Structures are given as structure tokens and as C-alpha cells.
Amino acid sequence: MYTKVNSMAIQGIDGQVISVETDVSAGLPEFSMVGYLSSEVREARERVRISLKNSGFSLAPRRITVNLSPADLRKEGTSFDLAVALGILASYGCLPDAELTNLAAIGELGLDGSVHSVPGVLSMVAAAREAGISACIVPKANEAEGALVEEIRVIGVDSLPEAVHLLSTSGGWRNIAQTLGNVLEDKPQYEVDFCEVNGQAALKRAAEVAAAGMHNLLMIGPPGSGKTMIAKRIPTILPELTRSESLEVSKIYSVCGLLSPVSPLKRERPFRAPHHTVSYRALVGGGRVPRPGEISLANRGVLFLDELPEFSKISLEVLRQPLEERTVQISRVYGSYQFPADCMVVAAMNPCRCGYYPDRNRCQCSDADVKRYLQRVSRPLLDRMDLCVEAPAIGYEAVRGKGENENSDQIRKRVKSAWERQTIRFKGLGISCNAQMTGKQVKKFCLLGEQEEAMMERIFDTLGLSARAYHRILKVARTIADLDGEDEIKEQHLGEAIGYRGLEQRFWG
């Protein structure tokens, strides 16, 4: 008897409907699976066979053939186990195949018949809804995650017998009350706040400007000057994630298996801080079966690269294209994958190996040592950093911190106001912040008056700026004007934006 059950697979970060076709016929007892399968999918034969036995299903020896379609798409992962088991039972007549119509089954089977969680359920359920499937049976541990997707019924099960009972009872799964996914009712909770940062007024201002336009930020200074402290608090001044942004971020974390089963919806802006020994594949994504990297996990948030020169050269250079295009494109024999990388990159570094240059009372590095250390960061990568700011050593009075500092809520209000201006400005253009503007959009939205134009011309010739650096100065100036509530870029806005490039010239020449 032939039956068909829908299941789901992950391709990149998106779900893909897989048809699990099962045929049970007379002949020598055999259990074969076909359809361009990876080793873990082929191993499903043993998991399903023993799971059926230990769940109390006694099936007569028959020739069982299972095909996972489309056959030209390589199948990876263990999410097909439950669908294969249900298909076999339906082919044996133990299940009414009518109940399997317009339904998808997702889950890994244990040898005792239990249904284990699998990564990527959020993406799978979303793809099932887009394909017109009306319900998904998922592992109980993934039920809250799947229920985040609206307009599709998600039923969680703990075991194979429980799934069979639901499908054997007329209207059984249809009578189960739908579990609603978490909604954005509570504000994100951060453990850190800008009020804890004493001194470093210029550094805090640069962080605010960077957050207001989602600009990339490079901080240079000696150890203990507060660079990491500032970076960790930048997510606290970014506006809260919208529902759609929250689902977008949760989808990436779901594929990587990083979602909490209790509270699967990501409410906080991501903050990722990989160690400088990270491989380039872990940083931007990749592998034999491509998976998102750290820059994609930081999507809609902050990717912090501490000790920037200590990262391998290849790891830094592969960042250049994602920083420009805000996506990662990976091509493999099995297909091409595109991962989002729309994040704010914040980097921190010492000015030399010992960290104290240009303080010659403390720095023991020669000029050649300093130059070699700084040259670990290439000029093309520097060109992609919108703001470059110095973090000077903190004095005793700043450490004592007698005064009262602005908290993150106060700064976030100004940043949010600047974001609202950008949302109105870029309505219908497919971008949301100043950092995303193309050259054509810079020309349209970053118009300069005669005095500002003359000022920019002088600076361009004096500093020997590249075309990319010129556009980035205008973008930052546009953000500073937005923070001031101004429609036009004025000299003070342009001057501040140019000041954020001066440090680059000072250290790299």
C-alpha cells in the first residue's frame, strides 16, 4: 500500500517541504530508503524499525520502500524520522491515511519511541504555512517555538504512540487547543546599562551616533579604558525589536539550535563577541552543509570583535563583503545559500602590542613594531568602519565616578527618535537606516550647502579620502543631523563626522 506524508527540511535558514512516500508490498523482507540521503537520514531505518518495535507495533515482514522527494535535493538531519514511521504505519493500515493529508510531521525518534527535538522548527513551520499545510506535528520540546508562527496549527507530541493516537482518533488533533507563541509584551531585560560607564564622554557620544544609524565603530585605546564595557552596552540603546525582526532573529537561532524551549522568541538585540581564534567559517558561516556564522547570529544587533588585530587575516578579510552588502552568500556543490548579516560591527583594539602607544613613558614598542601591529588591519577593512574613535586612559576622578551618568533609557530615546526620522525618509526604498544607503541615495538624502561642500572638498584633498570613505562621512553626518532633529546637514554635523575619520589618519597615515 502506498502513502505519502509531508515532512520538512532545512536549506540554509529556510524550510523546505519534503514528501515522504512509503510503499509496503509483498516480497522478501527489506527496508530501503532512497532520495539523495545523508548518512544520518539513512540511519533512520534502524531508528524507525526499533522505535516501532519498542512502541508496541507488531508489523508483518514486508518489503518497505521509502522515498524522500524531491530526489535531487540532498536530505540532511534527523527531522524525517517521525514522518517515516507514520508513513509506514499508514501503509500497513494502522493509520487512516486521510488524516495525514495536509499535515506535516517533524521530529527525531529515540529507540524507545520518544520524539526528540530538532533544530530549525520555526523555519520549518513557517515554510509549511507558506506551502498551504494546515498543521504540523512537532516534538513537544519544540511546540512553543513552532507556535510562534501564526495561521497554522502546531501540535507537540512526546512519543510515537501519542502521535499515532492523535491521528487514529477522528478529529483528534483538530480538537486540541492551539498553544499560542510568546508575544512581545515584556520589554527586553539587559543586565548592563550605560549609567555604569564613568568618563569617556567622547566614546559614549560615538557609540550613540553609531547606534542611531547602525554604523560600524572602531575603538582604539590602551587596556582598561572601557572599550569592551561600551561595546557590551550598545544593544541597550538600540530600539526594541519589532515582532517581524524578533521572528527573523529567532529563525536564525532556531536553525543553529540556540533557542530556549521555554521562551523561544528573541526579544533582546543580539550581541555576539567571538574570540579572536574563531575560524573564518565560524565567523561568516559555511561548512560542508552551510550554517549561519557569528555575523548572521548578530543580525539586527551587534557583532563585537575585541582585539581586532589578533584575528587571523583571512577572518578579517572575509568580513569585507558582508560589511558592504549586509548578507553572506555561500555557494556549495549542493546549492547556494544566503544568510542575513544586517548588523552593526563594533571593533576594539590596542594601538600597539603592549597597548600603550603613543605614551612613550609606558610603551616599549619600536616604531616598526607599532607599524607592523597596525598593518594587521587592512585599509579596505578600515574603510568600512564608519567611526574610528580613541579611548584614552581613564583618570582617578573618572574611576571614582562621583557624578550621575546618563542611563541607557535616556540615550535610547534620542536614538529611537533618529530611527523614526530614517524610517519616514526611507519608506518604500527597502532600507531602514542611514548606514544602508547606496551611493545614489547618499546623493539624494545627504545634500550639502555651499559652505559644507567647500569644507568637504578641502577635507577630501587633505586626507586623501577614498570614494567609500567620502560616502561614509556623509552617512554619519546625516545621522548626526537626525540626532539633532535637523533636515539639512550643517557644518557642525559634517565636522563631527570628519573627526571620526581623523584617528584613522593619525595611526595609519
pLDDT at 420: 96
Mean pLDDT in residue range 152-163: 94
Segment 75-84, tens digit of pLDDT: 999 999 999 9
Check pLDDT > 70 for residue 172.
no
Mean pLDDT in residue range 107-126: 96
Segment 304-326, tens digit of pLDDT: 999 999 999 999 999 999 999 99
pLDDT at 176: 66
Nine-digit cell string for 418: 533618529
pLDDT at 287: 82
Higher pLDDT, 185 or 347: 347
Contact 299, 342 (CB under 8 A): yes
Segment 458-476, tens digit of pLDDT: 988 887 888 888 999 999 9
Mean pLDDT in residue range 217-245: 94
Higher pLDDT, 154 or 393: 154
Contact 207, 391 (CB under 8 A): no
Band of the pLDDT at 57, cuts 50, 70, 90? Answer: very high
Can the peptide bond before residue 70 be classed as cis, meaning omega within 30 degrees of 0? yes
Check pLDDT > 60 for residue 483.
yes
Band of the pLDDT at 98, cuts 50, 70, 90? Answer: confident
pLDDT at 280: 94
pLDDT at 468: 87
Mean pLDDT in residue range 475-479: 96
Mean pLDDT in residue range 211-224: 95
Domain ranges of the chain: 2-175, 194-508
Q: What percent of the chain has pLDDT over 90?
A: 74
pLDDT at 171: 64
Tell the CATH topology of 194-508: Rossmann fold (3.40.50)
Mean pLDDT in residue range 225-250: 94
Closest CA to 32 of 23, 146, 40: 23
Mean pLDDT in residue range 112-137: 95
Segment 417-451, tens digit of pLDDT: 999 999 999 999 999 999 999 999 999 999 999 99
DSSP string over 183-235: -TTSPP--S--GGG--S-HHHHHHHHHHHHHT--EEEE--TTSSHHHHHHHGG
pLDDT at 174: 67
Number of CB atoms found within 10 A of residue 333's CB: 6
pLDDT at 360: 86
- Average pLDDT taken over every residue of the chain: 91
Can the peptide bond before residue 358 be classed as cis, meaning omega within 30 degrees of 0? yes
**Global pTM value:** 0.91
Residue 235 is which amino acid?
P
Band of the pLDDT at 177, cuts 50, 70, 90? Answer: low
Segment 328-386, tens digit of pLDDT: 998 877 778 899 999 999 999 999 999 999 888 899 899 999 999 999 999 889 989 99
Band of the pLDDT at 175, cuts 50, 70, 90? Answer: low
pLDDT at 184: 47
Check pLDDT > 50 for residue 127.
yes
pLDDT at 188: 80
Check pLDDT > 90 for residue 480.
yes
Band of the pLDDT at 186, cuts 50, 70, 90? Answer: low
| Pure H helices in 92-151 | 121-130, 143-146
Closest CA to 134 of 157, 150, 156, 115: 150
Segment 277-290, tens digit of pLDDT: 999 999 999 888 88
pLDDT at 466: 83
Q: What is the largest CA-CA distance in the chain?
A: 89
Q: What percent of the chain has pLDDT over 70?
A: 95
Contact 218, 389 (CB under 8 A): yes
Contact 40, 52 (CB under 8 A): no
Is the domain spanning 2-175 CATH 2.60.40.10? The answer is no
